[in-house]
Structure 1
C-alpha cells in the first residue's frame, strides 16, 4: 500500500475516541478507501474483522436483522460464522462498502453503545447518499473524506522521499532548491499531473512507465463514474452527464468560470444546481466560488451564481479531454510531458493546484471583478486562502494566489488586489514553473510546492 497522509487521521481517531464513535471513510470510487482501512486495521489492532457487503453471505446479513436487540448473541454468532476471535477493546470491525447494506450502518448506534470494539465503515459518497432512505443515520459516526494522492504522496510512492523532504525544507526556509533538484521536481510534478492521484493509475505508472497503460486505467474509472451517474443520478442524469462532459472546455476558457449557456442557451442555475452538487458530493468535481468582498470568513461573501468547476483528479481531466479518441497513446502523453504538443496547459495547471489545495483541507474560493468604467477594479485572482500573516502578529489574513503555466507573465491583479483591500491582504503568492523567489510579501513558488500552502 502507498503511504497515505490519511493514515495519521485514522490514528488520531482511534486515540481520541476510544471506541465511543465509529468512523465513516467516504470518498470517490477507486480512491483507495478499502485498502487504507484494511491496512490500518491489520497494523493497529491485535485482531480485526472485515465484512465486505459487496460479497457478504445472507447468513451474515441476517444477523443484523435478527439480533438488533441482543448484541451478545450477535457477536457470538458473528465470530462463529467468520472464525475470527475478537478480543475486547483491542479489535476493530470494518464494514466495507457499507452503502450496499444500510442496515449495518443503522446498527452502529447499538454497537458503539456496547463499547467492546471499534468500528470503521467505508463507502462511496454516491451510493451512501442514495441508500440512507428509511434508516436512521447514526449520530455516533465521524466522517473522513479520502482524496486522491497529493504530490508528496506521489513522490513517496515513486521512492522519492529524500526529494520530498528537500522540497519541504526549501519551502520552510524560503530558499530555492539547487537547479538540478528543481528540474527533477518539475519533471516529476508534470508526470504527476498527467498520471493523477488515483492509486490504480499511480501503481500502473510506477510498474509500466507507460502513459498509454495509465490512460486505459483512467478511462475505466471514468466509465465507472458515468455508470454511477446513470444508476444514481435519478432525474438529473442528463444534466450531470452534460456538466461532466463539458468540464474540459469550461476550464479551457480564459476566465474558467463556468458558463451555463454553453450547456443550454436557456439553462438556469437553479435547474443545474443539483447536478453540480451531485458531482461535488461524489468527489468527482470540486467547486470554487467567487467572493464579492474578501475577508477571512470567505464563505460569508461568496457568490453561488459565479463559480468554477474543477475535476477532483487532474489525470482524469486529461483523459476526459481526449475522450473522443478510443485510446490515448503513450506518445501523445510524452509530447505533453516534453512540451512538444501545443495544448492549453493553463487548464491542467490550475486544476492540479485546486486538487492540491483540496487535499490540504482548503475550500476553494477566487476573486473575479469586471469594471468597464474603472479598469483599476478589474482583476482575476485564481485562489484565495486564509493564512497567518507575520506582519500582523500571526493573525489571519487573505492570501491571494495566482497560478501561471508559463514562465513569462504579468501579475497586475495581485498589485490591484492589495491596493483595493489593504490590510485584509497577507502574503501574496504566485505558483509558476520557475524556481522560488521572495520579494517582500510577494512569494513566487514552483508549482510543485502547491500542496504546502
Structure 2
C-alpha cells in the first residue's frame, strides 16, 4: 500500500518512540487487514529507523530461546539468524503475528525491564483468541496497548486529499452557518465512505483508479479472507455455522440479537458461541445494553441484550449486496437500507473515538414494555459525568419519542440526533402524558460525528 495513506496512529507511534527509555513495548490490537503492519512499516520509514520485521507465523530457529525469558540472548539469536545488527539507537524490533508464538507476549516484559532503550512493537490479527485463554495473562504494567480500527471518516477524507473539508470539520463551531456547497460536499463524502469503507486496501484502490468496481472486487476478496480465517479460530465452533452467522449479521444491524432470527433451527448456545468467536476476531462488535443510571455505563451492562456492529461499513454494504451507485446518489443516507447503514456509520466512528490505549466499548439503551417500548441507538458520556443519548434519524423531524422517554426517565439535559441536515441546537419542551419533557437537542449531520467531543465542550 502507498505510504501516502497517513493515519493518526503514526503520530501516536512517534510520541511513544520519543519517550526513550521510559517507553514500554507497544502491542497493537485489531482485526485482520486494517493496516497494522503497514502502519508500523510507514512509521519506521518516516522515523529513519532500521526495521527488524519478524513474521512469527514463519518457522524461526530463535523461537527455541523464547522460553528462557532472556531478551539479550534472543536478540543475539535473531541477529545471527538474520545476519543483521540490532542497534538500540536506531533499530525498531517488530514482531508481527505474535499470536503464533504466545510465549513471546510474556517475554515482552523483560524487554522493558532489561533493554528499555530498544524500541519493540508487536501486532497480531487473531491475538484476542490467545488473550482470552484462562491460563494466559498479559504482563500488565510492562507493555503499552494500542487499539486500532479501520480508517475513520476523517482519515478517509484526508487520504483523498480533501484538505479544505477536513480543515472545516476541525474548526467548525456550532454558532456558524454551514454553506450549502460545504454541506453537500461533506454529505457526498459520507456516502462515498459508506461505499468504500475504511479498509486500507479498498481506499488505496479507489485513490489509484477511482473505480468503484475495483473497490467492490477488493472488498469481496477481504470478506473471503475473513471466511478462510475461520479455520484458524481456536474453539469448537463449526466453521460452516461461523460462515452462516457472519453472512447473516449485516441484516441484523441495529437490531437486538435474537438467535433464532439469525439462524433458525440451530441451538442458541451454538449461535452465541459463533458470535463470540467473530467478536474475538474483531470482525464484529457487540453494542451492549446499559441501564444508563450513571457512569461508567459498563457498570450496568446487560450482556444478554446486544446489537451487532460490523467491523467496516464498506464490507457491510458489499455483504448486503447493495448497489454502490445508488448509495452514492442517495439523497439521505438514513433512507438507505432502512437506515441501518447510517447507524453503522455513526457507531463505527463513535466506537473508535476512545483513547487508543483503552479497549473500545459502545452501549445503547432500550426499554421493552407493552405499549411503551423505547430504544436509543447509542449512549456516550460527556467527560463531566453526564450521559448523552444518541439517535440516528432521517429527515428534519423523525420521531424523537425515545429521546423524550430517556431524558425524562433519567433526568438528562442533553441529547444528540444525527441526520443529513445542517447542524442546529434547540430546546425541546413538550407536554406528554407522563409529564413535561425538557432537554436541549443537538442535531448534527453525519459528517460531524468525530467532532462530537470537541463540540460538547
Shorter-chain TM band: 0.7 to 0.9
CA shift for structure 1 position 265: 4.7
Query: 2:33 & 2:138 partners in 1: Cα distance?
Result: 24
**1:145 equivalent in structure 2:** 147
SS at 1:31 equivalent: coil
Q: 1:138 to 1:202 in 2, by over 3 A?
A: same
- Conserved 8 A contact 2:237-2:270: no
Contact 1:71 1:111 survives alignment (8 Å): yes
Partners of 1:120 and 1:79 in 2: how far apart? Answer: 17
User: Match for residue 333 of structure 1?
Assistant: 324
CA distances 1:42-88 after superposition (whole Å, capped 9, x unpaired): 33354332222345xx5xx2223248476555434533543443333
TM-score computed with the length of structure 2 as normaliser: 0.84
Which stretch of the first structure deviates more once superposed, 161-170 or 6-15? 6-15
Tell me the number of residue pairs that the alignment of Structure 1 and Structure 2 aligns.
426
Query: What corresponds to 1:451 in structure 2?
Result: 450
Instruction: Measure, in 2, the Cα distance between the counterparts of 1:136 and 1:62.
Output: 25
Q: In the TM superposition, what whole-angstrom CA distance separates every residue of 1:255-287 from its partner, at most 9, and x where no partner exists?
A: 622221213456665443332222122111111
Partners of 2:174 and 2:263 lie apart in 1 by 50
Q: Equivalents in 1 of 2:413, 2:14: separation in Å? A: 34
- Three-state SS of the structure 1 residue aligned to 2:237 is helix
Task: Return the offset for 1:99.
Answer: 2.5
Write out per-residue CA displacement over residues 373-396 of structure 1, whole angstroms, 9 at most, x where no aligned residue.
Answer: 5x3xx32211111114xxxxxx32
Partner of 2:195: 194
Report matched runs for 1:17-56 at 5 Å.
18=21, 21-44=24-47, 46-55=49-58
Match of 2:410 in 1: 421
2:384 is aligned with 1:382:
no
State whether residues 23 and 144 of structure 1, in contact with CA within 8 Å, keep that contact through their aligned partners in structure 2.
Answer: yes
Change (3 A) 1:187 1:300: same
CA distance in 2, matches of 1:24, 1:403: 34
Q: 1:46 to 1:219 in 2, by over 3 A?
A: closer
Q: 1:338-366 CA deviation, whole Å, 9 max, x = no partner? A: 12898524111101111001111252111
Aligned counterpart, 1:177? 178
What's 1:281 paired with? 280
Q: Secondary structure at the match of 1:442?
A: strand
Stretches of structure 2 lacking an aligned partner (at least 5 in a row): 355-359, 428-439, 453-457
Deviation at 1:406, TM superposition (A): 4.0
1:105-159: CA deviation from partner (whole Å, max 9, x where unpaired): 4433433332141210111035762897998754433222210001100011000
Asked whether 1:363 is paired with 2:361, we answer yes
Secondary structure of 2:205's counterpart equals helix
Contact 1:25 1:145 in 2 (8 A): yes
More displaced 10-residue stretch of structure 1: 266-275 or 434-443: 266-275
Segments of 5+ residues of structure 1 without an aligned counterpart are 323-327, 389-394
8 A Cα contact 1:154 1:197, kept in partner = yes
Structure 1 SS opposite 2:295? coil
**Which of residues 9, 15, 19 in structure 2 aligns to 1:6?**
9
Q: Which moved more, 1:361-370 or 1:84-93?
A: 84-93
How many Å apart are 1:437 and its aligned residue? Answer: 0.8
Which deviates further from its counterpart, 106-115 or 123-132? 123-132
Cα RMSD (Å) = 2.8
Contact kept? 1:215, 1:319, Cα under 8 Å: yes
Q: Distance between the aligned counterparts of 1:175 and 1:169, measured in 2?
A: 10
After the TM superposition, list the runs of 4 or more consecutive aligned residues in structure 1 that deviate by more than 6 angstroms. Answer: 130-136
Partner of 2:162: 160
CA contact under 8 A between 1:98 and 1:122: conserved in structure 2?
yes
Structure 2 residue 428 is matched with structure 1 residue 435 = no
Contact 1:175 1:436 in 2 (8 A): no
Q: TM (normalized to structure 1)?
A: 0.85
Distance change >3 Å, CA 343–CA 449, structure 1 → 2: closer
> 2:26 touches 2:120 (CA, 8 Å); kept in 1?
yes
Provide the C-alpha distance between the structure 1 equivalents of 2:341 and 2:370, rounded to a whole number of angstroms.
29
Answer whether contact 1:94 1:119 (CA < 8 A) is retained: yes
- Secondary structure of 2:230's counterpart equals helix
Distance 1:308 1:428 in 2: 21
For 2:175 and 2:260, how far apart are their aligned partners in 1?
44
SS in structure 2 at match of 1:234: coil
Change over 3 Å in CA distance of 1:74–1:398 after alignment to 2: closer
